[in-house]
Structure 1
Amino acid sequence: MSSVPPQRFALLVGVDLYLNDGSRRRPDGNTVSLNNLNGCVKDVKAIQDFLYQELQLDKPSILTSSPAALVENEPARPAEPPDCWPTFANIKSKFDAVYDGAKPGDLFYFHFSGHGAELQPIDGSSGSSRREPSLLTADFCCGEPALRGWQLNQWLRRLSDKQVHVVVTIDSCYSGGAWRHGDHARTPIGWTTVLNLPADIEAVKGTEMRSFLRDGDLEKSWSINPDRLTVMTACESHEQASDRTVDDQPGGAFTHALLGHLKQQPAASSRTYRVIRDHVENQVSRQNPRVFGRDRLLFLGTDEPFSATPLVGRIEEGKVHLPIGRIHGVQQGSEFTCPSTGKVFAVSTVDKFQCSATVSPETIKVLREYKCQVFPFRWNFGEEKLQVLVDLRLASVFSTTLRGYLEDRIASGIEVVQQGVSDNSNDSTCTVLRLEHQGDNGINIFGPASLIGYEGPIRGLDIYGNNTKLVNASAAALAQLARFKQILDLRSQTCKEMESFDSTIEPDNPTATSPFSDHQTFNFTFRNTGQARLYFTVVVLGPGFHVKQLYPDRDSPETLHTNEKQSFIFRIIIPDKLQGDKSANKVLIHRDIIRTIVTRNQPLSWRSWELPAIWNAMQIEHDRSSEPRDATLEKNSFACWIKDEEILIRSM
């Protein structure tokens, strides 16, 4: 008997016409009104067409309010029947129906286009002047509730707890913690304080209001989302989402760019949420789309591919400018490529946060054609040379071939010598790695304990085969170790200024001591003790020489204002490849480095650091097409701190 395939549900909401019967008033007694919009219903219809044509999802739930022909002496009403209006009651009813009908493994997609605004907190116990970013429903001015951001999060969390995969796109102002104004944005004109009504209080009864929601910042709500939730928002918490007109048809700039990328990039590897976000950011102005949650998943899917990190450059006066610099491990001479064309160029100027290269007119033409999308090609490690000592039992042709394979991966100094000829182990400007012949056609790799984390051969590597396989696998592993060391050494780039934050990592069991047991859980706490806004990201440098962002589970960093605190729990699990032979009853110690990167006043992306486990080093893709982020850095009052903490885990 075959299993039932997962279902896909969708609820699409677009509010162009806002009803008003005068029920809502400002503190001065004046009536609250909302200007109508012109592109939200079009957004919904465009998404509906895409879901049908591209994903064969033919029965989404639709709630829209299109202006109907005006009737004399009658208030404006939507053209749709009342049960299809985007009211709070109808939206909640649709959510409840999805919850009742969905089963574990199903997928639910929710889209909202319309006004967003910041409202007063529901209860006065919040202890904060911060307001609650909310989605304004069609009947809000008739005294009916808005959909509060934290409340929407709880509805989504309820579905996720049922093991339903949830995807949300919000095209409104303040959607990253916020929500459109005037003719070109979706924030109400002249928005001021709006008094809460009994209907607002009634609407949140029975909805859990946890302490992390009390500041009313939707961004914080999205940031703590569960494993099966991904939220894409049109802008940051302090920004407005713009409209745009294409072929005389109005619509949301975010929705237009989102669908444009999905239609132009049929390849699945170009449809991860982080790639989509980067493309959308390059297509819209004065707003920065955000992704919260599982940004590495494929759009409306559950797969998470690993690939090399793409970058998008900026071309000015014959130069290509890339948004990464020394803080990311870029050195003069590092090379980048546009893999679809084979064009390779080396950067000539590198500062702390960006780099640039002078390229030929032909290369500029090609880069423009491919939207200046490039990938790292060969890392340069500056003055630090890589020396590889090769076992005498491996033929000299092996060393010669290995050097060629390494030169394909590394742009800086390389020395491959037979053991006993030269050893620069005590040279601080040289990274020394050693290859030993192992058994029948096998190789072990050794390195300094400061890099490897232990004495002995690299664990988890199975390098066997003919000469070609040995050389190729060895070169991939050696190049990864060299890049891992470079990333490890970047802690020296930390700001010398006194830290304006506190961070702690503690085991959840106070009696646990290092080295900890496998599957140990830890509590991480971060507090902003300074006066400026801080952005922090937590990255793990694992025992498999992999580098992956641990928190938040999205490309962008976590944002904390003065005196704000954020905590999360994480678990360290030893990869199966490193478990060893348990029958040997031998304790192995594995090192995880938990790196906290903090920047002041400006967020940075750290995904160019990411590496797969060393046993997968040959599986990095360099040929996917995507639209990555194009960041510009405001250097005024900028600072960057890097803080590492080692955690040792034992296995038998």
Structure 2
Amino acid sequence: MATQTLPKRFALLVGVDLYLNDGSRKSKVNNLQGCVNDVKVIREFLRNEFQSHKLCILTSSPSSANPTIPEELDDCLPTFKNIKREFDNMYEQACPGDLFFFHFSGHGAELQRTSNSPAGRLKDASLLTMDYCCGKPAVRGWQLNEWLKKLNEKKIHVVVSLDSCHAAGSWRNDGSLRTPKDWTPPPNLPIDEAVVQETSSEPNCRHGELDVSWDINPDGFTLMAACESTEYAAEKTVDGTTYGAFTHALCGYFQRNQPGAMFSTYRTIRDHIARDISPQNPRVYGRDRLAFFGNKELFSATPVLAEIKGDVASLPIGRVHGVKTGAEFATRPPTSEVTLSISEVGDFESKAHIVRDSSQTLPQHIEVVPFRWSSEETLKVLVESSLPRRFQKELSNGLQKRIVGDIEVIEVNEVGKAHGPEAAGFGLKTTVDGGIDISGPASLIGYEGPVRGLEIKAQNEDKQATESAVALTHLFRFEQILNLRNQAPQDTAPFEVTLDPESGPDGSPLSESSTIKFTFKNNDEAELHFTVINLGPGFHVKQLFPSEDSPKTVPRGETRSFSFRLKIPNELKRDRADYQRHPHRDIIRTVVTRNKKLSFKSLELPDIWNADQVESGRRSGSGRDVELLFDLDFSWWIQDNVILIGLN
């Protein structure tokens, strides 16, 4: 019998304190203080917490004998040649399933574009190597993207951490900010053109993520950046030693939160770091719901950070996120098991009563995830009489564990033949092969008949009932999110959204290969913040743009555009005859706010056939009385565009 090979972990850590200058570029950059220390602290972190197969370090430190030359050997210096060599070695040595972690601490800058740079860019965001001012090349963001893409295509799991700035004039320096003043990028040299000729930059359209700063398109991998593209990456001195603020906070998070930190997602880690290094705003791009150094996406509901004051918790999600009074949230390990019951809901914030033992103490901030959504109306589920009473009872119990509110499981002779109020609910009936079909209102499902792609074929009645309850809860939450469009203000929206094309010739469905251009125009007098969300045919909810966990800000009178493609999940292609008859619905939702930036990542759901992945610990609970909050200075709008996708 073949033995399974355990995945290996590789790491390349680059830190540049000493920048050489021989006058080749007629420009110089100042040395740094904390970048080599960043590498040292990450090296110890990796050695203590993770078993690394190979750890490669490239650093430049001023020599004690002569601070103008590095103390490291030539092969260990952070030059373009050495960095490229290690990426090539990684491609040869790592196997599918292995993990590669790349960290860079040093100067970042926007350089003049080359003849091979991506179209539409005026400058190239770049990592400055130690010998850049000696006439050697920098690592351009789009070039790094191609190196990472090559590893990703080999099925190597890639994680990138950049403690460096990446906008005009944004650098690390001066002991507090990594940004030299009044520095003008020098003209390109012939070598800058030569090293990019072997690297082609190709646009990458994909499901759910778009281009981000650095020209890095993290499809299939994760990029952690120290700050936003318009900010500075700060340094801080602790006990006489200087570090990058981002790197120090990252390693500090794991030291303070063991052992539970190992199960934290990149997004959760980013939230904690952001508090520690404010006003600097770290960002995570790409697969932000992976557990740190993990290779599976955690679809346990996206955690949010609650603030605790006495027996009341404030959550940064509210009415615009589909939160209703009575919904219950639970803490995550390593925090003791505590239940938060939502008692007040405002537009973008909720308050919860904390259900806990009097002996329990909680930190000021804790991570919580939803485990019971709240229904304001009676949830009706019609069950075919051929399904046993035991199944019906277990189905009702399963729904009560997941939804707060009145639930009725109603037995009928034939699902689909009911009339009156019951006809608007969900329906369950047996299939010829012993499975269960689930149907729902066409306004929710998008078509008549059972939910496509979902197979419930458990071994016994209890498991079938549990799987059915999980799928119904998923559809219930999807419906709440879908119906947010009915709760948004109906006044004239101060913006325009266009999709080109929105349909095929004569209104026919688009093919999967179609490239769709999204354009947002701000017609308001104030700046607006927009997020684009995809509600897909598998009943998934995923943020499409921007990739990072924050909205895109558009000044008054300006427009923003991006392009994307939509894919039909394989689970919906199994029945080709059905696939040919019925196009699949994608809703491209634009959520716009004024006067406040909001995150909408907490809305995300997987496809319904992966709904069991959102399961967390279940426990009993009850709803609370309500006092509504109203936020008078906050404005928001929702616009939905429906796209039908068919066969090519």
TM-score range, shorter chain: 0.7 to 0.9
Residues 114 and 135 of structure 1 are in contact (CA less than 8 Å); yes or no, is this contact kept in structure 2? Answer: yes
Cα 1:444–1:471, aligned 2, differ >3 Å: closer, same or farther?
A: same
**In the alignment, which residue of structure 2 is the partner of 1:12?**
13
Query: Which residue of 213, 226, 229 corresponds with 1:237?
Result: 229
Q: Distance in 2 between matches of 1:289 and 1:615?
A: 33
**In the alignment, which residue of structure 2 is the partner of 1:149?**
141
Report deviation, 1:158.
Answer: 5.0
Cα 1:485–1:361, aligned 2, differ >3 Å: closer, same or farther?
A: closer
**In the alignment, which residue of structure 2 is the partner of 1:225?**
217
**In the alignment, which residue of structure 2 is the partner of 1:645?**
641
Report deviation, 1:411.
Answer: 1.6
Q: Distance in 2 between matches of 1:394 and 1:58?
A: 54
Report deviation, 1:233.
Answer: 0.7
Q: Distance in 1 between matches of 2:192 and 2:449?
A: 64
Q: Matched residue of 1:573: which SS?
A: coil
**In the alignment, which residue of structure 2 is the partner of 1:547?**
541
Cα 1:105–1:542, aligned 2, differ >3 Å: closer, same or farther?
A: same
Does residue 498 (structure 1) correspond to residue 493 (structure 2)? The answer is yes
Report deviation, 1:91.
Answer: 3.1
**In the alignment, which residue of structure 2 is the partner of 1:183?**
175
Cα 1:129–1:436, aligned 2, differ >3 Å: closer, same or farther?
A: closer
**In the alignment, which residue of structure 2 is the partner of 1:631?**
none
Q: Distance in 1 between matches of 2:388 and 2:292?
A: 49
Does residue 173 (structure 1) correspond to residue 165 (structure 2)? The answer is yes
TM-score norm. by structure 2 comes to: 0.80
Residue type of the partner of 1:166?
V
Q: Matched residue of 2:317: which SS?
A: coil
Residues 21 and 133 of structure 2 are in contact (CA less than 8 Å); yes or no, is this contact kept in structure 1? Answer: yes
**In the alignment, which residue of structure 2 is the partner of 1:47?**
42
- Structure 1: gaps spanning 5 or more residues: 27-31, 625-634
**In the alignment, which residue of structure 1 is the partner of 2:446?**
453
**In the alignment, which residue of structure 1 is the partner of 2:623?**
none
Query: Which residue of 304, 319, 325 corresponds with 1:332?
Result: 325
Partner deviation per Cα, 1:176-211 (whole Å, 9 max, x = no partner): 9954243223222x3333443636755665266869
Report deviation, 1:228.
Answer: 3.8
Q: Distance in 2 between matches of 1:366 and 1:399?
A: 40
**In the alignment, which residue of structure 2 is the partner of 1:596?**
590
Does residue 568 (structure 1) correspond to residue 563 (structure 2)? The answer is yes
Does residue 287 (structure 1) correspond to residue 283 (structure 2)? The answer is no
Partner deviation per Cα, 1:190-243 (whole Å, 9 max, x = no partner): 333344363675566526686989xxxx97455661534432111111122222
Query: Which residue of 466, 476, 480 corresponds with 1:472?
Result: 466
Q: Distance in 1 between matches of 2:553 and 2:636?
A: 14
Report deviation, 1:621.
Answer: 3.2
Report deviation, 1:42.
Answer: 1.6
Report deviation, 1:537.
Answer: 3.9
Report deviation, 1:106.
Answer: 5.6
Q: Matched residue of 1:367: which SS?
A: coil
Cα 1:182–1:474, aligned 2, differ >3 Å: closer, same or farther?
A: same
Q: Distance in 1 between matches of 2:421 and 2:174?
A: 64
Question: Structure 1 vs Structure 2: percent identity of aligned residues?
Answer: 46
Residue type of the partner of 1:591?
R
Report deviation, 1:454.
Answer: 2.0
Residues 550 and 597 of structure 2 are in contact (CA less than 8 Å); yes or no, is this contact kept in structure 1? Answer: yes
Residues 25 and 194 of structure 1 are in contact (CA less than 8 Å); yes or no, is this contact kept in structure 2? Answer: no
Query: Which residue of 173, 187, 194 corresponds with 1:196?
Result: 187
Does residue 354 (structure 1) correspond to residue 349 (structure 2)? The answer is yes
Q: Distance in 2 between matches of 1:395 and 1:4?
A: 46
| Aligned pairs (5 A) from 1:480-629 | 480-494=474-488, 496-506=491-501, 514-515=508-509, 519=512, 521-530=514-523, 535-552=529-546, 555-557=549-551, 563=558, 565-576=560-571, 579-580=574-575, 587-599=581-593, 603-622=597-616
Report deviation, 1:326.
Answer: 0.6
Residues 291 and 556 of structure 1 are in contact (CA less than 8 Å); yes or no, is this contact kept in structure 2? Answer: no
Partner deviation per Cα, 1:542-568 (whole Å, 9 max, x = no partner): 333332334555544556667454333
Query: Which residue of 363, 366, 371 corresponds with 1:372?
Result: 366
Q: Distance in 1 between matches of 2:601 and 2:495?
A: 24
Q: Distance in 1 between matches of 2:311 and 2:154?
A: 54
Residues 122 and 200 of structure 1 are in contact (CA less than 8 Å); yes or no, is this contact kept in structure 2? Answer: no
Q: Distance in 1 between matches of 2:5 and 2:463?
A: 43
**In the alignment, which residue of structure 1 is the partner of 2:207?**
none
**In the alignment, which residue of structure 1 is the partner of 2:297?**
304
Bigger shift: residues 410-419 or 462-471: 462-471
Q: Distance in 2 between matches of 1:580 and 1:244?
A: 58
Residue type of the partner of 1:593?
I
Partner deviation per Cα, 1:497-524 (whole Å, 9 max, x = no partner): 434243315379x65963556x554424
**In the alignment, which residue of structure 1 is the partner of 2:243?**
251
Report deviation, 1:289.
Answer: 1.4
Query: Which residue of 65, 72, 77 corresponds with 2:60?
Result: 65
Q: Distance in 2 between matches of 1:157 and 1:395?
A: 52
Residues 591 and 648 of structure 1 are in contact (CA less than 8 Å); yes or no, is this contact kept in structure 2? Answer: yes
- Structure 2: gaps spanning 5 or more residues: 205-209, 619-630
Q: Distance in 2 between matches of 1:606 and 1:362?
A: 32
Partner deviation per Cα, 1:231-285 (whole Å, 9 max, x = no partner): 2111111122222344443322222232344564556972543333333324322
Cα 1:152–1:349, aligned 2, differ >3 Å: closer, same or farther?
A: same
Does residue 206 (structure 1) correspond to residue 197 (structure 2)? The answer is yes
Q: Distance in 1 between matches of 2:178 and 2:381?
A: 59
Residues 326 and 342 of structure 2 are in contact (CA less than 8 Å); yes or no, is this contact kept in structure 1? Answer: yes
Report deviation, 1:288.
Answer: 1.6
* Coordinate RMSD, CA, aligned: 4.4
Q: Distance in 1 between matches of 2:612 and 2:77?
A: 53
Cα 1:124–1:613, aligned 2, differ >3 Å: closer, same or farther?
A: closer
Q: Distance in 2 between matches of 1:416 and 1:4?
A: 48
Residues 461 and 614 of structure 1 are in contact (CA less than 8 Å); yes or no, is this contact kept in structure 2? Answer: no
Q: Distance in 2 between matches of 1:641 and 1:503?
A: 15
**In the alignment, which residue of structure 1 is the partner of 2:313?**
320
Q: Distance in 1 between matches of 2:470 and 2:168?
A: 40
Residues 334 and 347 of structure 1 are in contact (CA less than 8 Å); yes or no, is this contact kept in structure 2? Answer: yes
Cα 1:81–1:337, aligned 2, differ >3 Å: closer, same or farther?
A: same
Report deviation, 1:111.
Answer: 1.2
Bigger shift: residues 95-104 or 642-651: 95-104
Report deviation, 1:463.
Answer: 5.4
Bigger shift: residues 155-164 or 42-51: 155-164
TM-score norm. by structure 1 comes to: 0.80
Q: Matched residue of 2:403: which SS?
A: coil
Aligned residues: 620
Cα 1:392–1:239, aligned 2, differ >3 Å: closer, same or farther?
A: same
Q: Matched residue of 1:571: which SS?
A: coil
Report deviation, 1:170.
Answer: 0.7
Report deviation, 1:602.
Answer: 5.1
Residues 338 and 355 of structure 2 are in contact (CA less than 8 Å); yes or no, is this contact kept in structure 1? Answer: no
Does residue 38 (structure 1) correspond to residue 52 (structure 2)? The answer is no
Bigger shift: residues 269-278 or 120-129: 120-129
Cα 1:589–1:79, aligned 2, differ >3 Å: closer, same or farther?
A: closer
| Aligned pairs (5 A) from 1:263-274 | 264-265=257-258, 270-274=263-267
